[in-house]
């Protein structure tokens, strides 16, 4: 069943990239949906699974960031697991936008955590890709399952349940790293080799 959910995400009518997930939100678990409920109660996200052995590809060895408009990544509102509102600025710290159901994201998180001693900084993580109507508490519950399932201990993780801005923030899909290098804001999309992540994160500006 989990492969069906992921397949639906990758075939959701959006571009699928070789080393990343091109859909910007999770496929809806239709069997759990009751259309008579308010929208806030209709969110039906697939459960977390360890998908690290799914959709395995050769990580992209090319350092190929592209420039982005800084406006979308300044004063970005996200939330901590306990509901505190936080404003992020990618010009001051690198931000990794990821979705819990994306195998490329899961492998990237594990790769960076394993090799964090070789990085000047780890990115802050923004967990997104949820269905419209997902509440913060629902997103956090899934996020905690992911942290336990992948043994993620090194990251500061924030949550974004405002699905209206997913396409603007993760323009190509997940994972997307947005970072500042020499005053220019860049994005790096997809699953890359460690050397590429090192080049990006070791050159990233931090406040």
Whether pLDDT at 3 is above 80: no
Task: Give Cβ neighbours of residue 141 (< 8 Å, ≥ 6 apart).
Answer: none
Which CATH fold would you assign to the domain 2-203?
A: Glutaredoxin (3.40.30)
User: How many whole angstroms separate alpha carbon 150 and alpha carbon 178?
Assistant: 23
- Give the model's confidence band at 16: pLDDT under 50 very low, under 70 low, under 90 confident, else very high: very low
Whether pLDDT at 33 is above 50: no
Whether pLDDT at 154 is above 50: yes
- Give the model's confidence band at 78: pLDDT under 50 very low, under 70 low, under 90 confident, else very high: very high
Q: What is the largest CA-CA distance in the chain?
A: 52
Q: What is the pLDDT of residue 32?
A: 41
Element (H, E) at 200: helix 194-203
Tell me what the pLDDT averaged over the chain comes to. Answer: 86
Q: What is the pLDDT of residue 14?
A: 35
Q: In what order do the strands lie in the sheet with 66-67?
A: 66-67, 184-189, 176-181, 95-99, 124-128, 157-159, 76-79, 85-88
User: How many whole angstroms separate alpha carbon 72 and alpha carbon 142?
Assistant: 26
Chain centroid offset of residue 30 CA: 23
Q: Determine contact, residues 27/8, Cβ cutoff 8 Å.
A: yes
Q: Where are the domains of the chain?
A: 2-203
Q: What is the pLDDT of residue 105?
A: 97
Q: What is the pLDDT of residue 8?
A: 43
Q: What is the pLDDT of residue 44?
A: 87
Q: Per residue in 93-137, pLDDT tens?
A: 999 999 999 999 999 999 999 999 999 999 999 999 999 999 999
3-class SS of residue 164 = helix
């Amino acid at each position: 069943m989990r492969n069906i959910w992921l397949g639906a995400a990758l075939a959701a009518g959006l571009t699928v990239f070789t080393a990343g997930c091109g859909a910007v939100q999770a496929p809806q678990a239709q069997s759990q949906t009751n259309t008579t409920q308010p929208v806030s109660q209709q969110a039906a996200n697939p459960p977390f699974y360890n998908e690290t052995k799914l959709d395995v590809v050769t990580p992209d060895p090319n350092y190929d960031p592209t420039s982005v408009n800084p406006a979308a990544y300044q004063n970005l509102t996200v939330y901590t697991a306990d509901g505190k509102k936080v404003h992020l600025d990618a010009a001051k710290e690198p931000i990794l936008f990821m979705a819990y159901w994306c195998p490329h994201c899961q492998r990237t998180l594990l790769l960076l955590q394993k090799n964090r001693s070789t990085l000047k900084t780890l990115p802050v993580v923004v967990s997104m890709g949820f269905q419209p109507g997902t509440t913060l508490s629902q997103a956090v519950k899934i996020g905690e399952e992911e942290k336990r399932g992948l043994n993620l201990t090194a990251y500061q993780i924030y949550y974004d349940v405002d699905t209206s801005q997913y396409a603007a923030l993760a323009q190509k899909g997940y994972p997307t790293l947005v970072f500042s290098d020499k005053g220019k804001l860049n994005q790096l999309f997809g699953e890359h080799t460690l050397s590429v992540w090192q080049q990006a994160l070791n050159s990233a500006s931090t406040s």
